[in-house]
Structure 1
Amino acid sequence: MSSHLSRNIFKHYFGDSGKDRYLDMGYRDKLWWVSYLRLLPIILLTALLLSGCVEREVAGPVAVEEAGVPAEPGLWNPDGVIAEGEYSGYALLIGPEGLGYPGGDLEVFWRTDDEHLYMALRGETTGWLAIGFYPREWKKGGDVVIGRVNGRDAVVEDQYIIDFFGPHIPDVELSGTDDILEFGGLEKGGVTVIEFRRRLDTGDEFDRAITPGEDLPIIWSISRSEDLKQIHDVARAEGMLRLGEETAGPSATAPLSAAQLQGMAFILEEERMARDLYLELYKTTRLPIFLDVARSEETHIASILTLMKRRGLSAPPEAPGVYADETLQKIYEDLLSGADGPVVALGAAAQVEEASVHDLRKEIEGALEPDLISVYGGLMVGSEKHLRTFVRALEERGGEYNPMILSQEEFDRIVRY
């Protein structure tokens, strides 16, 4: 508080003869006025803050129930309300049941312009939602956006996964930058929505550049907890966002053709065969990589079984090492009998994953059903990571793998990622 302002207030209360009046006061009155004048700056500052005249930093715009009015169509507004025309792309990501998870879906909405990615995540939880772009091996290298909403408090952070199975750490704690330019959210009726904007290429070493029109491999997860450091406990999976396709929102589930049903049964058996083979190869080589990938294949199997359950389909029975498809049966037996030593075993595993990538891409091509695209896209992202992992492990032991099904260009894109 300036001395000029103090003199004016003194004059206001005591008039032109204020000094004489003040001197005539008793000790207690003088003490009260001195205390009042000392507190007056705090009172005035508080009033200014409450009136909105002073600019404040906020965590992000948060849509409360009363503010849930859709924005003008076509305009992006991070208020937690997904309005008509706000996004041009949509994907339904299915989190499988089982393996300790109840399962759940994550809906992803997006659009891009020349410089920015605009995205919304919607999931059934009162905890956090997360999406990670371009994981390299397992989760490692994933460029993560994670957020939650609690009342008027929205938090969305830019994080990075530093190791194969985590943890994800805020970029700023790794000497990077938080590149979420705008964000907001809404939690209502047990459903949380977060929206955010970031640059396609932030220039931060802990972020991945995103190219409009290309397929975007992701990992994602949902937690019941609002603590962003707590592990996911509702759902988690891999996925693929087709940034080049425009699908603004959910669509009705169409019945599958006979060819699609046959393809689904084959993919399920192929994933089961891969799991069984890796478990057997672990027994003979004791390489932990086989056990890790076998566990990942269990998640892939659970994803397909969840998809089949939702479509009212029955899963065929299984027995380890026994498959209805004769081709898969022969591949299993030949690779297992010929896997003499770690190098040969890793080469056999790479062959299985290369075939899996090819077969999944074949099923995705021409598919229009969002649930099929979601599950098969996630499996393909996982299979590409498995292929990358096996080839690198093979090369570390002096081995070499040459693609047998994929083109050299496609193989290099996956492995030299």
Structure 2
Amino acid sequence: MMKTRLLVFLLLPVIANAAPARFGAQGTAGGQGAAGNAAEPGTQLCDGTGNGPGAGLGMRAGTGPAQRRGGGAGLCQQQGTCPLTTITPVVPTTLPGAELIYAVEEERVARDLYLTAAERWSLRVFERIARSEAQHEAAVTQLAGSVAVTLPVAARGVYATPELQKLYTDSLVLVNESEVAALRVGALVEESDIAELRRLAGVATDDGTRAVLAHMEQASTRHLNAFVRSLARFGESYQPQVLAVEDFVALIVPRG
């Protein structure tokens, strides 16, 4: 069976013509909770918690950290930019060195494409997700360090893996073509990343590595949602190119 990563080369020429059903944005909510010193609207955080109205000691009104979760997603979930929680594997990773090198460079490709898109177009989603991709790179670099794998020197737009160099070069053409084309590249990259992370989770045999990959998949799912929502704002929709339709639908958070 062809690896997910190789499908991207075949799919890049067709993503501009994808015509799927639309998916919308996830709602937001401010946090509410007890204890504090004055009443203020909830401030959205990654998990929907925040500062909110409450009664302090002695029943005096006041503000303080809200302790209950808000009724919806926090702002970073809506934007697909919640920071990745760093998980340090207890034991050395069981992923092969070649897989680790490829995975690190794969994250660099995504980050570099998004940085270019952020510079080319006035869409903040690219800048935000580029920062998250840098966190993904750091997480995989940590795994590589656990088994003393030497990684290629990082340079923007330059990769030691020929396959990834071609992927970056071909994708860059679309990124510079239009905002919609750039967003489609982003959605395809994240969809492919999810499939690849699931594949790697099947290769790894230690719980530490699987936990890191699971957190990365969660973040990539938020990124995919962010790109799909951004396309919807342009009146465009995105059709799954890598994942099965039912798997894709299960990942997309509907509007409202």
Q: After TM superposition, is the score higher than 0.5? A: yes
Shift of 1:171: 7.4
Task: Provide the C-alpha distance between the structure 2 equivalents of 1:362 and 1:286, rounded to a whole number of angstroms.
Answer: 34
Label 1:407 to 1:238 Cα distance change in 2 as closer, same or farther (>3 A): farther
Residue 230 of structure 2 aligns to which amino acid in structure 1? A
Distance 1:411 1:142, change over 3 A: farther
Determine the structure 2 residue equivalent to 1:268.
104
Within the candidate set 65, 88, 94, 1:256 is matched to 94
Question: How many Å apart are 1:381 and its aligned residue?
Answer: 1.0
1:237 corresponds to which residue?
A: 84
| Matched-pair contact (CA < 8 Å) for 1:346–1:390 | yes
Structure 1 residue aligned with 2:253: 416
Are residues 1:168 and 2:49 paired?
yes
Q: Number of residue pairs matched?
A: 203
CA contact 2:93–2:144 (8 Å) conserved in 1: no
State the alpha-carbon separation in 2 of the partners of residues 142 and 368 from structure 1.
Answer: 40
Question: Counterpart in 2 of 1:206?
Answer: 71
Residue 394 (1) aligns with residue 231 (2): yes
SS at match of 2:238: coil
Q: Given the alignment, which residue of 146, 150, 154 partners 1:318?
A: 154
Q: What per-residue deviation string (whole Å, max 9, x for no partner) do you get for residues 93-138 of structure 1?
A: xxxxxxxxxxxxxxxxxxxxxxxxxxxxxxxxxxxxxxxxxxx98x
**Contact 1:238 / 1:382 at 8 angstroms: preserved in 2?**
no
SS at match of 2:84: strand
Q: State the identity %.
A: 28
Q: Which has the higher contact order (CA 8 A, sep 6+)?
A: 2
Instruction: Report which of the two has the higher share of helix.
Output: 2
Structure 1 residue 416 displacement after superposition: 2.4
> How many angstroms apart in 1 are the aligned matches of 2:169 and 2:234?
24
Is 2:209 aligned against 1:372? yes
* 289 and 172 in structure 1: CA distance in 2 versus 1, 3 angstrom threshold: same
Equivalent-residue separation in structure 2 for 1:347 and 1:255 (angstroms): 33
Map of 2:13 onto structure 1:
none
Q: 1:255: how far off? A: 6.3
Q: CA deviation at 1:327?
A: 2.6
Instruction: Call closer, same or farther: CA 1:331–1:350 in 2, change over 3 Å.
Output: same
* Bigger-Rg structure (1/2): 1
* 1:405 is the counterpart of 2:252: no
- Once residues 319 and 350 of structure 1 are traced to their aligned partners in structure 2, the CA distance between those partners, rounded to angstroms, is 24
Inter-partner Cα distance in structure 2 for 1:404 and 1:167: 31
- 1:369–1:164 distance in 2 versus 1, CA, 3 Å: same
Partner in structure 1 of residue 125 of structure 2 = 289
Paired residue for 1:128? none
Structure 2: how far apart are the matches of 1:252 and 1:334? 39
- The 5 Å alignment of 1:3-402 reads 163=44, 168-169=49-50, 206=71, 237-238=84-85, 253=91, 256=94, 260-339=96-175, 340-402=177-239
TM-score of the superposition, structure 2-length normalised?
0.66
Structure richer in strand, relative to its length:
1
Task: Give yes or no for contact 1:271–1:300 (8 Å, CA) kept in 2.
Answer: yes
C-alpha spacing 1:358/1:239, structure 2 compared with 1 (3 Å): farther
Q: Does the CA contact (< 8 Å) of 2:43 and 2:50 recur in 1?
A: yes
8 A contact 1:239–1:381 mirrored in 2 = no
Q: CA RMSD in A?
A: 3.8
Change (3 A) 1:276 1:178: closer
Match of 2:76 in 1: none
CA 1:207–1:280 in structure 2 vs 1: closer, same or farther (change >3 Å)? closer
Runs of 4 or more above 4 Å deviation:
140-143, 164-167, 170-173
Superposed CA offset, 1:356-414 (max 9, x none): 11111100025221221122111111111111101100111111111110011111111
Structure 2 CA distance for aligned equivalents of residues 165 and 264 of structure 1 = 28
Counterpart Cα distance in 2 of 1:401 and 1:277: 19
TM (norm. structure 1) is: 0.42
Alpha-carbon contact 2:97-2:149 (below 8 Å) kept? no
- Cα separation, 1, equivalents of 2:171 and 2:133: 18
SS in 1 for 2:50: strand
